[in-house]
């Protein structure tokens, strides 16, 4: 398995190189279309020239001497080329492309394309009754694969380019771009993602245009002089064509597989060259028995489609093509089944048309029935038999319709193709290509356990969501300390929520060789050219980048926002979980919440702020506070309402009333429209509100969580309450808890607030108290402060710090820094107050009461207030002891990965 090999190759030295972006996809698709079309046209012209030369030579000399000699020699050379230079070029080529796209290790490159082109020209030019369209698909896919090797693209993108090459090859062969795209998507990739579909469409269109310009159009003769009409009374006859085609298609597929087994058994010790030579000789001898006009494939198809032939001639074509195709295909000679299937279908349609005309002549059919031209039945038979052989009715319809460009044929083609497919699928499930692969021990429908364990994994499944980051303004000395205290060898550098670089131990190793100012910012030292993945990138892309660039970690970004990081250890951890069917301790095993309602606003912000809405009485106040921050920080609002159900019920199966929940969401959307903020809303049914909040934070890449808080808890062992405590301890984003004071609570019988009322009451937050302790949480609280202070025209700001009662003069560094930050942010002067006491919470409460403060914002830090908050109950004590609004801010928790 490719994935397993890549995992074993991950422990190597590392280097940083910019990965190839997807912006050149259009250029690549156009290039693939051009080279595939040139190859298809060149193959067509070569086969036509060799075919004409063979027939002319047989007319000049004895055909019993010339045709077998050319058949044997051409077949031997063709098989020798494949055997010696590219064994992957045998057969039609479509099963090989299908297997390669299924991560089976089968080569597709320039070598395969060249050998396939030469060997196909030799085999078909020597008289083998096979088609050039299947080989052209493999040639286009191989050329695209070579381009992807040169560009060193990821395995996922490489598969998309290979599918585009296959689409271009088929489009150029039939002059049918739509059919080429459908075949690549439906048969080969079974993927309709935007990139796959877009790349295939561009390549197919370019290939079709180039082929038509160079005279390499479709395989049909001129039908302009033949009337194409269809009578509704003929529907039973067309259904009959489909049923017969389904039966013949099943027989044809079984005969092809039996022929492969026959060659394998009878020529077990013979080389491929000998088998193809034998097939060439047998085909040449049998061709001599056909009428002279039917000794080339071109004549066969022309007579079957437009020739005024009787039933004997149609039977000759049907039987002869059937046997000759089995002879050639069984030897695994380079050549496909598209053309033989279409010729067989045309002959079958002619037989039905001849029989219908006879029945009409003898009065068996209604006298008022208007029979269509035999060409209509021939074309319907082509579509039907192709559908029966490949089990791809949409491709069959598209190929014939695009080659004729007759809209009136759509219904007959659909009738024939669908009926034939249903009959064939019932009697012999699976296309011929699927059975060929199964005969080689490759079953793409039953992937092994390793594939089942890994398929579908994305970067979001692998990444660690909580990442310790450094700022580009941090000094080199501080970075050295960070590495000394960490067992890991790299840190992402994030400024204002955006990934700007990465600092590794290799970057710091230059300090040993050169003199650096240890007080210089690490922005001068970090690596700015980043290798990143998005949360949606598959595991194959992750492994490809880790192996190609030999890096130890990959930042996961959504746009430029860092949302996680992937290391080798993460991949090994997930592999162990998948193999042992276990779950990481970091992941919850409880029943996940169930999304029942969602609205999406435009993604216009540079971050997201989550507001859990639960209490209709305070929802507008909380939303307006969050909106003030969102406006200042250019965030989008994500509003969540969780409907809690008993644990005995399943969230996905429980009926809930959404009336009140949707009213809350509608109020949020209306506020967003008023303020010009993008608002997303969702309603989830859950057992656990806290788990749902954490789930939403991860899924939506939330930057800041703004929660309402009662200011006290009755839950034993909890400081803030079960839900809020869980968010405080586990949420990887910033957290802001809001306990509304008496002045902000709504009044009246209903207790519900309105948006206007909420705005009016928020203007009452005039006097602010900010206890200062220093640290990252205080810094983040000061970042939020300007948005909150904007709610009042002239806010009165008090900065205070509580010092122990000693004789030493207090250190005012933190207070002065905070005052300077506020002045620079809002051009307002803050009052600096120093307090001396042992009881921090009581002192802060007393000061707030004495000064009639309206709001207290606690910017805690690990060294001071936050540490005491976790060990004691300072926020709860302040909230309970004061009737003003209290806001507790906790900066994002960072965990080394």
Percent of the chain with pLDDT over 90: 14
Tokens of 481: 């300390």
Half-sphere exposure of 379 (CA within 13 A, CB side): 33
Q: What are phi and psi of 356, to 5 degrees?
A: -65, -40
The Cα-based distances of 784 to 242, 557, 607 in angstroms read 71, 24, 14
Which residues lie closer than 8 Å to 163 by C-beta, 6 or more apart?
A: 101, 141, 184, 185, 188, 189, 191, 196, 199, 200
Contact in structure between 470 and 491 (CB atoms under 8 Å) = yes
Cα distance between the two ends of the chain: 28
Sheet of 767-771, strands arranged across: 594-599, 679-686, 636-644, 608-612, 704-708, 734-739, 885-890, 855-859, 767-771, 796-803, 831-836
Half-sphere exposure of 56 (CA within 13 A, CB side): 7
Distance of CA 198 to the CA centre of its chain: 13
What is the DSSP secondary structure assignment for residue 494, as one 8-state letter?
E
Q: With the C-alpha atoms ordered 119, 125, 129, 132, is the resulting torsion angle positive or negative? A: positive
Tokens of 33: 């279309």
What is the DSSP secondary structure assignment for residue 391, as one 8-state letter?
S
Q: Domain 232-439 sits in which CATH superfamily?
A: Clc chloride channel (1.10.3080.10)
**Which range among 88-97, 304-313, 691-700, 779-788 shows the weakest confidence by mean pLDDT?**
304-313
Percent of the chain with pLDDT over 70: 79
pLDDT(750) > 60: no
pLDDT confidence tier of residue 354, bands split at 50, 70 and 90: confident
Q: pLDDT of 316-343, one tens digit each?
A: 888 888 999 999 898 989 998 888 888 8
Q: What are phi and psi of 365, to 5 degrees?
A: -95, 155
Q: What is the CATH number of domain 25-213?
A: 1.10.3080.10
Mean pLDDT (the chain) is 78
pLDDT(21) > 60: no
Q: Which of 38-47, 292-301, 442-451, 879-888 has the highest mean pLDDT?
A: 38-47
pLDDT confidence tier of residue 872, bands split at 50, 70 and 90: very low
Strands 561-567, 553-558: pairing kind? antiparallel
What is the DSSP secondary structure assignment for residue 186, as one 8-state letter?
I
Structural fold of domain 454-580: CBS-domain (3.10.580)
Is the fold of 232-439 the same as that of 454-580? no
Quick one: pLDDT at residue 890? 82
What is the secondary structure of 290-353 as a DSSP string? S-GGGSSHHHHHHHHHH----HHHHHHHHHHHHHHHHHHHHTT-S-BSHHHHHHHHHHHHHHHH
Q: How many angstroms separate the CA atoms of 346 and 366, rounded?
A: 25
Q: pLDDT of 405-449, one tens digit each?
A: 777 788 888 999 999 999 999 999 888 888 888 877 777 654 443
Q: pLDDT of 670-716, one tens digit each?
A: 989 988 899 999 999 988 888 899 889 888 889 999 988 776 554 44
Quick one: pLDDT at residue 581? 38
Q: With the C-alpha atoms ordered 158, 160, 162, 165, is the resulting torsion angle positive or negative? A: negative
Write the burial class of residue 648 (CB in 10 Å: 0-12 exposed, 13-18 middle, 19+ buried): exposed
Q: pLDDT of 242-266, one tens digit each?
A: 999 999 999 999 999 999 989 888 8
Report yes or no on whether pTM surpasses 0.75. no
Alpha helices (runs of H) in 214-268, residue ranges in sequence order: 235-266
**Which range among 5-14, 75-84, 112-121, 735-744 shows the weakest confidence by mean pLDDT?**
5-14
Quick one: pLDDT at residue 612? 92
SS3 41: helix
Quick one: pLDDT at residue 553? 77
The Cα-based distances of 74 to 64, 101, 334 in angstroms read 16, 31, 12
Structural domain spans, the chain: 25-213, 232-439, 454-580
Distance of CA 261 to the CA centre of its chain: 40
SS3 810: coil
Distance of CA 252 to the CA centre of its chain: 38
SS3 180: helix
């Amino acid at each position: 398995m490719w994935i397993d090999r890549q995992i074993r190759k991950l422990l190597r030295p590392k280097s940083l190189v910019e990965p190839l972006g997807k912006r050149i996809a259009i250029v690549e698709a156009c290039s693939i279309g051009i080279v595939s079309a040139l190859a298809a046209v060149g193959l067509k012209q070569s086969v036509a020239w060799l075919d004409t030369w063979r027939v002319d030579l047989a007319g000049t000399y004895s055909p019993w001497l010339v045709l077998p000699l050319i058949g044997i020699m051409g077949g031997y050379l063709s098989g020798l080329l494949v055997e010696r230079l590219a064994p992957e070029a045998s057969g039609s080529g479509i099963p090989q492309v299908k297997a390669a796209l299924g991560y089976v290790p089968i080569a597709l490159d320039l070598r395969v394309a060249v050998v396939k082109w030469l060997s196909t020209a030799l085999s078909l030019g020597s008289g083998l009754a096979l088609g050039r369209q299947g080989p052209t698909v493999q040639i286009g896919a191989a050329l695209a694969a070579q381009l992807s090797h040169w560009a060193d693209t990821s395995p996922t993108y490489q598969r998309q380019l290979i599918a585009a090459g296959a689409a271009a090859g088929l489009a150029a062969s039939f002059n049918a771009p739509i059919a080429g795209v459908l075949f690549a998507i439906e048969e080969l990739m079974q993927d309709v993602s935007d990139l796959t579909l877009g790349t295939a469409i561009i390549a197919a269109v370019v290939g079709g245009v180039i082929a038509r310009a160079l005279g390499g159009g479709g395989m049909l003769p001129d039908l302009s002089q033949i009337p194409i009409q269809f009578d509704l009374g003929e529907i039973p006859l067309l259904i009959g064509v489909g049923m017969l085609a389904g039966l013949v298609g099943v027989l044809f597929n079984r005969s092809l597989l039996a022929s492969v087994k026959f060659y394998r058994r009878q020529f077990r010790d013979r080389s491929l060259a000998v088998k193809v030579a034998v097939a060439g000789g047998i085909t040449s001898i049998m061709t001599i028995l056909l009428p002279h006009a039917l000794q080339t494939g071109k004549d066969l198809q022309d007579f079957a489609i437009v020739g005024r032939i009787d039933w004997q001639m149609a039977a000759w074509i049907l039987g002869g093509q059937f046997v000759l195709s089995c002879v050639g295909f069984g030897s695994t000679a380079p050549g496909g089944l598209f053309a033989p299937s279409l010729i067989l279908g045309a002959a079958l349609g002619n037989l039905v048309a001849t029989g219908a005309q006879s029945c009409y002549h003898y009065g068996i059919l209604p006298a008022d029935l208007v029979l269509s031209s035999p060409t209509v039945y021939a074309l319907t038979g082509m579509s039907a038999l192709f559908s029966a052989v490949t089990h791809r009715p949409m491709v069959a319809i598209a190929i014939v319709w695009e080659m004729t460009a007759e809209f009136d044929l759509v219904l007959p083609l659909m009738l024939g193709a669908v009926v034939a497919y249903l009959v064939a699928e019932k009697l012999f499930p699976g296309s011929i290509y699927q059975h060929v692969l199964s005969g080689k021990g490759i079953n793409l429908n039953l992937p092994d356990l390793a594939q089942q364990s890994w398929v579908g994994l994305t970067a979001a499944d692998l990444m660690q969501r909580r990442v310790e980051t450094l700022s580009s303004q941090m000094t080199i000395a501080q970075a050295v300390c960070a590495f000394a205290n960490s067992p890991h060898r790299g840190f992402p550098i994030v400024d204002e929520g955006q990934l700007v670089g990465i600092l590794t131990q290799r970057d710091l190793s230059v300090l040993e060789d050169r003199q650096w100012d240890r007080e210089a910012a690490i922005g001068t030292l970090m690596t700015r050219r980043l290798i990143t993945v998005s949360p949606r990138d598959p595991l194959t892309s992750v492994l490809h980048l880790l192996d190609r660039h030999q890096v130890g970690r990959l930042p996961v970004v959504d746009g430029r926002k860092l949302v996680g990081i992937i290391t080798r250890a993460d991949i090994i951890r997930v592999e162990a979980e998948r193999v042992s069917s276990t779950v990481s301790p970091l992941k919850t095993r409880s029943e996940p919440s169930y999304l029942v309602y969602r609205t999406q606003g435009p993604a216009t912000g540079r971050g997201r702020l989550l507001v859990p809405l639960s209490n209709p009485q305070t929802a507008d106040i909380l939303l307006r506070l969050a909106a003030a921050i969102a406006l200042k920080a250019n965030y989008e609002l994500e509003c969540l309402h969780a409907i809690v159900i008993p644990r005995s019920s399943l969230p996905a199966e429980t009926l809930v009333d959404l009336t009140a929940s949707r009213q809350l969401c509608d109020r949020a959307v209306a506020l967003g429209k008023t303020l010009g903020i993008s608002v997303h809303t969702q309603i989830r049914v859950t057992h656990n509100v806290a788990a749902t909040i954490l789930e939403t934070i991860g899924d939506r890449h939330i930057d800041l969580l703004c929660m309402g808080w009662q200011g006290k808890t009755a839950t034993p062992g909890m400081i803030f309450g079960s839900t809020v405590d869980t968010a405080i301890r586990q949420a990887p984003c910033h957290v802001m808890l809001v306990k509304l004071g008496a002045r902000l609570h709504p009044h009246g019988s209903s207790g519900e607030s309105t948006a206007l009322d909420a705005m009016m009451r928020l203007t009452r937050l005039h006097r602010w108290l900010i206890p200062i302790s220093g640290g990252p949480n205080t810094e983040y609280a000061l970042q939020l402060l300007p948005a909150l202070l904007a709610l009042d025209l002239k806010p009165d700001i008090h900065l205070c710090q509580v010092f122990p009662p000693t004789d030493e003069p207090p250190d005012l560094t933190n207070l002065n820094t905070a005052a300077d930050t506020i002045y620079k942010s809002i051009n307002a002067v803050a009052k600096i107050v120093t307090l001396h006491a042992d009881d921090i919470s009581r002192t802060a409460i007393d000061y707030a009461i004495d000064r009639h403060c309206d709001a207290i914002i606690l910017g805690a830090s690990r060294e001071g207030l936050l540490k005491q908050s976790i060990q004691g109950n300072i926020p709860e004590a302040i909230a309970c002891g004061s009737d003003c609004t209290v806001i507790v801010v906790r900066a994002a928790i960072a965990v080394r990965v």
